[in-house]
A and B are shown apart, each in its own frame.
Chain A
């Protein structure tokens, strides 16, 4: 029996190859056209992320018979959700671009034409969202050459894969496509000119600073600076800034029923919004400082503080 099925499957394979061969020959020209087109799109795009619309999806994916000569990894974006920080779309898209740019930079040769990074935006290409059965964002999906059913969940990048950002996305791509992405190139925090200007400024200011420090004229010697620092710490605490940072509170909310109505103050006493905290903290600080000013400026300053204590005679008196 085993031998029989084996033979049968071989036979099917053979016939399939026989029929497939002419089709693939005919398609190869078309394929190379598509690849060339994708490459040109890629070189035109920022960081090599191609923006696909509904036509693009049908042209490069649905109308091309499997196996396609390339894989596409698609990031589903929604511009109108960028303002909502809980979706992390902006952040993830930036990481996606980094992976794309790194892939292009690290690979040259045939591998570059096997994988293309694309994005689809919901506002212009709602039909594609439907075609991929995208229900929630963020959604990243790899369409490998054999994938026929675009709603297939196997190509979907799982939440754990984009949790660690660019590195884990690259890992996912390498695992699925057997292509190498290589080391991730992150753009430096500051550009070279900025670094040069900053170093120049520091170099110029060092002698001046040293002179000032030696003379005792810096801001650090001014107690008003310290006072304002202290007041800032006070403001920082009482405004509940820590609460806002830890809970990642938005500055304001939009009313559920009426989106044009912006909510600044939250009803619950255990929770606050960003603007709310700052407004109240500012109020506290202003009132406190006015109080300090009024009580100090209007009245005579009477200082009857005992001048201090004797230094205890443990210090050998001959030292001074």
Chain B
């Protein structure tokens, strides 16, 4: 490496000698050269801005597949709740929203919305909506909600550019912006319609980190203040802020240990921590956790440690006596650690500081969740990640990441240390839970961008210098010792040049593969709304099943406004948002007993279930059934979870009663309890008369591929109210009790 360093120096000395040799004609030359240089700078700026602009647009339009293919609608489950609250916010105003007690969910308990959500997303969407209205663009709030995620993804690319510029250089920034714009790991949660907290949270996360690194690099209060506000936005938007409040102190601690403590760091961290903490306390859902929960204590410990550092520095300056200072140092450090330990112990023992939550534990010790909290372990996005998911979501970034690490380690600075720590911790967490790939994506993109940018830059500069060197060599001819060294260089150049060209082509090939892969993944895997189902017909044509919305609109039109609907919790948010009816449980799974009660009702015999439903004032029961269409994530396939969760609270429900030799069956060999429980009856009512597939007997379940075991189902306390056109959603009315004479 060192031997090749003089090359740029050569160039400069060359121009110097040229300038001294021919003074008068060069004056003109240098003038034009200067103006040309100015122009190249402008050109460079122009190119950079236009690339950024294009990337901004690209990030937006890459996420519109679902809108083009289906229509502008909200996806999945949680976004419907967010949409409903946003609607409420725009209609009733902020204070009503903040104090909203929602009696339509968790009947009869209700839910204090303002105190149990992260309002960042809704407020952002409402602000965009009001701004557009002010500018006389009369859009519907739904359009704003659908497009919030792509809009913030575009903003994220800009932040990624500045972050890359801060860590490495503008080239890396541009590449980072381009990579993150289409990275599937990020697209998976930011397509149009996925109106969820993560949509704005990743933007806030990256912004906070960028501003903090900027603050550490400059030592400026202004950037630190910006970082605190970024943190506030993050806290208001997503529970993942805990990652920031632990990563940043860890980073500061590493800088302290490696002897990189500086006044810049002191200013940046103290300002960010104190202001960020005070601001975060304004969010009701977070409250005083920053001073009360064990997960936030690390940040406070580092804050205090930093004061000790500063204090020691001051004393060192005052004392001027090394021996005295050494003793003082020892006493201070010991007592500081002792006091901190005692305070933490007393706080924990007295219950003032809450211990770590299960989710936090399960990240540090991944086997914890499996053994202790099945409800976390059961959620599909909490599953550990297999290698194929990494490949799917990162593609070539996966290979570029170690290369980027190598570059970072070669040029260690405060900023690269940060990005390396961010990358490694988040990548570890991504290995524990699939959904955390999202958090790791910005770091992976940035580190990979460093690899790409540094490589391309080095290669092109190699090519460029090659073109110049032979020219000057021939001009000067034989003479000084410099010339002979150039001849030597010349000889090794053809190989290097060809190698560089080959490598450049390779890099561009890889990048184009990446673009193709990302587009394909976005279009095929991440753009289905899951509220409208699509299937391929026999002739390859697309068949759309819009049964969910059909059922919810039926509820809205045909049931009394105060009707209570019981369903499994997955559909709670959608029923309240689209059907506008009260539900017993929904996706905010805060009360396990209530969910278990519903699970118990679903897995009991009809008469027992009827008592439970009467006690909960249930008027309608909604089940999702895929036997006709072959839709596999229906209630029958989720049924064992209902049994498990119900049995976890009510021991009368036993899982083995529903299994035959450990196997879950719905055909003739199924267990009698299974064949007569409420869920089975509601799903398969009248199904025995139906022929679903040619050449199969009637009552053939296409989702499970069997003929059902109980074709003659009689309902006693319920009656069929509505079944959608493809039988995906079935709604039953609970009959009032018969008169006793």
Binding site for B on A (CB under 8 A): 223-224, 226-227, 230-231, 233-234, 236-243, 245-247, 269-272, 276-277, 280-281, 284-285, 287-289, 291-296, 298-305, 308-309, 311-312, 314-315, 318-319
Set of chain A residues within 8 Å of B424, measured between Cβ atoms: 230, 233-234
Q: Are B398 and A308 in contact (CB under 8 A)?
A: no
Set of chain A residues within 8 Å of B724, measured between Cβ atoms: none
Complex Cα–Cα for A237 and B432 (A): 8
Q: Are B430 and A237 in contact (CB under 8 A)?
A: yes
Given A231-B405, A246-B370, A291-B402, check contact A300 B217 (CB 8 Å): no
Q: Are B267 and A234 in contact (CB under 8 A)?
A: no
Q: Are A226 and B409 in contact (CB under 8 A)?
A: yes
Complex Cα–Cα for A233 and B402 (A): 10
How far, in Å, is B183 (CB) from chain A's closest CB? Answer: 15
Closest 6 CB pairs of A and B: A288-B402, A312-B219, A292-B403, A292-B406, A237-B431, A243-B384
Set of chain B residues within 8 Å of A311, measured between Cβ atoms: 219, 262-264
Q: Are B401 and A288 in contact (CB under 8 A)?
A: yes
User: Which residue from B428, B431, B503 sits with its C-beta under 8 Å from A298?
Assistant: B503
Q: Are A301 and B5 in contact (CB under 8 A)?
A: yes
Given A240-B385, A242-B431, A245-B367, check contact A314 B5 (CB 8 Å): no
How far, in Å, is A302 (CB) from chain B's closest CB? Answer: 6
How far, in Å, is B407 (CB) from chain A's closest CB? Answer: 7
User: Which residue from A234, A270, A284, A312 sits with its C-beta under 8 Å from B386?
Assistant: A270
Apart from A241-B431, A292-B403, A301-B4: 15 A-B pairs, beta carbons within 8 A: A226-B409, A230-B409, A231-B405, A237-B430, A238-B387, A238-B398, A240-B386, A242-B432, A243-B431, A288-B398, A289-B406, A292-B405, A292-B451, A295-B459, A299-B500
Set of chain B residues within 8 Å of A276, measured between Cβ atoms: 387
Complex Cα–Cα for A223 and B416 (A): 13
Decide yes or no whether B282 CB sits under 8 A from chain A. no
Decide yes or no whether B400 CB sits under 8 A from chain A. yes
Set of chain A residues within 8 Å of B593, measured between Cβ atoms: none
Set of chain A residues within 8 Å of B366, measured between Cβ atoms: 242, 245-246
Q: Are A300 and B462 in contact (CB under 8 A)?
A: yes
Decide yes or no whether B399 CB sits under 8 A from chain A. yes
Decide yes or no whether B716 CB sits under 8 A from chain A. no
Complex Cα–Cα for A312 and B218 (A): 7
Decide yes or no whether B125 CB sits under 8 A from chain A. no
Complex Cα–Cα for A293 and B413 (A): 21
How far, in Å, is B382 (CB) from chain A's closest CB? Answer: 10
Complex Cα–Cα for A35 and B647 (A): 48
Q: List, sorted by A's number, 30 A–B pairs whose CB atoms are closer than 8 Å.
A: A223-B409, A230-B405, A230-B424, A233-B428, A236-B428, A237-B390, A237-B431, A240-B386, A240-B431, A243-B385, A270-B383, A271-B386, A272-B387, A277-B387, A281-B387, A284-B390, A284-B398, A291-B399, A291-B451, A292-B451, A294-B503, A296-B410, A299-B455, A299-B462, A302-B458, A305-B169, A309-B217, A309-B218, A311-B264, A319-B313
Q: Are B457 and A292 in contact (CB under 8 A)?
A: no
- The secondary-structure label for the interface of chain B is helix
Q: Are A234 and B402 in contact (CB under 8 A)?
A: yes
Given A234-B427, A311-B263, check contact A240 B402 (CB 8 Å): no
Complex Cα–Cα for A312 and B10 (A): 36
Report the interface size class on chain B: 35 or more
Set of chain A residues within 8 Å of B413, measured between Cβ atoms: 305, 308
Set of chain B residues within 8 Å of A245, measured between Cβ atoms: 366-367, 384
Decide yes or no whether B461 CB sits under 8 A from chain A. yes
How far, in Å, is B102 (CB) from chain A's closest CB? Answer: 35
Q: Are B399 and A312 in contact (CB under 8 A)?
A: no
Set of chain B residues within 8 Å of A240, measured between Cβ atoms: 384-387, 390, 431
Residue of B nearest to A232 (CB): B424
How far, in Å, is B125 (CB) from chain A's closest CB? Answer: 33
Q: Are B217 and A315 in contact (CB under 8 A)?
A: no
Q: Are B400 and A288 in contact (CB under 8 A)?
A: yes
- The secondary-structure label for the interface of chain A is helix
Q: Are A309 and B264 in contact (CB under 8 A)?
A: yes
Binary contact track B256-297/A, C-beta < 8 Å → 1, others 0 = 000000111001000000000000000000000000000000
Residue of A nearest to B507 (CB): A295
Q: Are A227 and B406 in contact (CB under 8 A)?
A: yes
How far, in Å, is B9 (CB) from chain A's closest CB? Answer: 12
Given A233-B428, A234-B427, A311-B219, check contact A289 B402 (CB 8 Å): yes
How far, in Å, is A186 (CB) from chain B's closest CB? Answer: 21
Complex Cα–Cα for A207 and B615 (A): 74
Complex Cα–Cα for A146 and B519 (A): 74
Decide yes or no whether B388 CB sits under 8 A from chain A. yes
Complex Cα–Cα for A284 and B448 (A): 14
Q: Are B367 and A304 in contact (CB under 8 A)?
A: no
Residue of A nearest to B167 (CB): A305
How far, in Å, is B161 (CB) from chain A's closest CB? Answer: 17
Q: Are B500 and A312 in contact (CB under 8 A)?
A: no
- In chain B, residues 357-403, which have Cβ atoms closer than 8 Å to a Cβ of chain A? 366-367, 370, 383-392, 398-403
Decide yes or no whether B317 CB sits under 8 A from chain A. yes
User: Which residue from A280, A308, A314 sits with its C-beta under 8 Å from B387?
Assistant: A280
How far, in Å, is B12 (CB) from chain A's closest CB? Answer: 13
How far, in Å, is B723 (CB) from chain A's closest CB? Answer: 32
Set of chain A residues within 8 Å of B420, measured between Cβ atoms: 230
Residue of A nearest to B259 (CB): A216
Given A240-B386, A247-B384, A281-B387, check contact A295 B455 (CB 8 Å): yes
Complex Cα–Cα for A308 and B411 (A): 12
Q: Are A291 and B400 in contact (CB under 8 A)?
A: yes
Set of chain B residues within 8 Å of A227, measured between Cβ atoms: 405-406, 409
Q: Are B431 and A291 in contact (CB under 8 A)?
A: no
How far, in Å, is B480 (CB) from chain A's closest CB? Answer: 22
How far, in Å, is A293 (CB) from chain B's closest CB? Answer: 8
Complex Cα–Cα for A215 and B115 (A): 55
Given A231-B405, A295-B503, A300-B462, check contact A238 B390 (CB 8 Å): yes
How far, in Å, is B363 (CB) from chain A's closest CB? Answer: 10
User: Which residue from A237, A272, A280, A295 sits with its C-beta under 8 Å from B458?
Assistant: A295
Q: Are B388 and A234 in contact (CB under 8 A)?
A: no
Set of chain A residues within 8 Å of B267, measured between Cβ atoms: 312, 314
User: Which residue from B392, B428, B451, B458 sits with its C-beta under 8 Å from A300?
Assistant: B458
Q: Are B399 and A315 in contact (CB under 8 A)?
A: no
Residue of A nearest to B412 (CB): A223
How far, in Å, is B7 (CB) from chain A's closest CB? Answer: 6
Set of chain B residues within 8 Å of A292, measured between Cβ atoms: 402-407, 451
Decide yes or no whether B496 CB sits under 8 A from chain A. yes
User: Which residue from B7, B169, B398, B462 sits with its C-beta under 8 Å from A304?
Assistant: B169
